[in-house]
Structure 1
Amino acid sequence: MKRHYRIVLWVVLVLLLSGCGFHLKGYQQATPNLDGLYIQGDAGRASLAAMLRQELSASGAKLAASEAAARHHLQVLKDQIEYRALSVDANGKALEYELKLTVEYQVTAATGEQRIEPQSLQVLRQLIYNGTEELGRRNEAALVQQEMRRNLAGQILRQLQARL
């Protein structure tokens, strides 16, 4: 009898979880409103525009192949990283940095109508170094910058889904 109650309890829990909208984090399905979006910006592999293209493609959005065929134009106006030394050692070498990535973008319709006015987003991260490993310092900084851009690309994607 106890076993029967446990099975019923598990079935009820599974049904409640599936009904509440819970799902594992991963790529979200893009809304059909994002189909036909053209992204203008730096084509470099590590740029925010490239991250946005990758995130949108992975979520199932059909990006416009050319600017003329686009329904909406997303333009990355600013993609700037700034370093600031937070602490230094006795020799004057920076031991801790603050990285600030600032991104500005806007979305216009093919008709020229402004769909999303210029938006500015920022992400801050701190890097702590332990001494003389310069190569490791550069690699870590590049990885952190890539993660910051991926984070902002996800934020922009969520804003696009909500506002278009």
Structure 2
Amino acid sequence: MSRTPHRNLWWLAIALTLLLNGCGFHLQTGASIPPRLVGLRVAGTGPSGGTLAQAVDRALQRRGNHAQSGGPLLRIDHAYVGQRIISISPGSGVALEFLDTLHAEISVVGSDHKVLLAPQPLLVENSFSYNSGNPLATNEQQITSQRLLMEQGARQILRRVLNSPDFRQPVP
């Protein structure tokens, strides 16, 4: 009798696995590096270009890419972060909520300087709230928000580049 509950759980697990696979559910995995992008290097320009390029490079390294001097180049140009106030306290007139916006232009060029992915704009937005009760926490919030913005930008760049049909097709 003691085997029946275990056997039932085993069958339940198999049934759930089959159902989830049948409906299109898959665990999220990182996109693999297409063969044409192996050894991809990253360079950034603009006030936030270096920080964003570092975030993209770290994400690529986690996926197994190691930059090579002769590899293609992912360019992140004119990267900057803008910030605007989106909410003000009616009582004190103090800013309560901000919107950080990351702007850049991304492209990929081959080692022969041929454009592999035409320049395209990047826009990432992230809001954060101000804690008027603890001004020191606000500085920490802003630093955390900026880091989060760069990580979101890096993920968006990699999604676009690694999943681009230009790189998923076999090399002619």
TM range (shorter): 0.7 to 0.9
Contact 2:131 2:137 in 1 (8 A): no
TM normalised by structure 2 equals: 0.76
Give the structure 2 partner of residue 58 of structure 1: 62
Give the counterpart letter for 1:57 in structure 2: Q
Report the Cα offset of residue 51 of structure 1: 0.5
Give the structure 2 partner of residue 83 of structure 1: 83
Give the structure 1 partner of residue 170 of structure 2: none
Closer, same or farther in 2 for the Cα pair 1:5/1:119, shift >3 Å? same
Report the Cα offset of residue 142 of structure 1: 1.1
Report the Cα offset of residue 30 of structure 1: 2.9
Separation of aligned partners in 2, 1:7 and 1:128? 47
Report the Cα offset of residue 5 of structure 1: 5.8
> Residues 103-147 of structure 1, C-alpha deviation per residue, up to 9 Å, x if partnerless?
211111112211111111112222221315332111111111111
Separation of aligned partners in 2, 1:155 and 1:118? 15
Contact 1:55 1:153 in 2 (8 A): yes
Closer, same or farther in 2 for the Cα pair 1:18/1:63, shift >3 Å? farther
Separation of aligned partners in 1, 2:106 and 2:10? 52
Report the Cα offset of residue 21 of structure 1: 6.5
1:41 aligns with 2:40: no
Closer, same or farther in 2 for the Cα pair 1:134/1:9, shift >3 Å? closer
Report the Cα offset of residue 162 of structure 1: 1.8
Separation of aligned partners in 2, 1:53 and 1:134? 33
Report the identity percentage. Answer: 25
Give the counterpart letter for 2:123 in structure 1: Q
1:14 aligns with 2:17: yes
Report the Cα offset of residue 10 of structure 1: 2.6
Which range is displaced more, 153-162 or 47-56?
153-162
Give the structure 2 partner of residue 128 of structure 1: 129
Give the structure 2 partner of residue 101 of structure 1: 102
Separation of aligned partners in 2, 1:118 and 1:154? 17
TM normalised by structure 1 equals: 0.79
Q: How many residues align?
A: 158
Closer, same or farther in 2 for the Cα pair 1:34/1:17, shift >3 Å? farther
Separation of aligned partners in 1, 2:18 and 2:92? 62
Q: Which runs of 5+ in 1 are unaligned?
A: none
Separation of aligned partners in 2, 1:125 and 1:77? 20
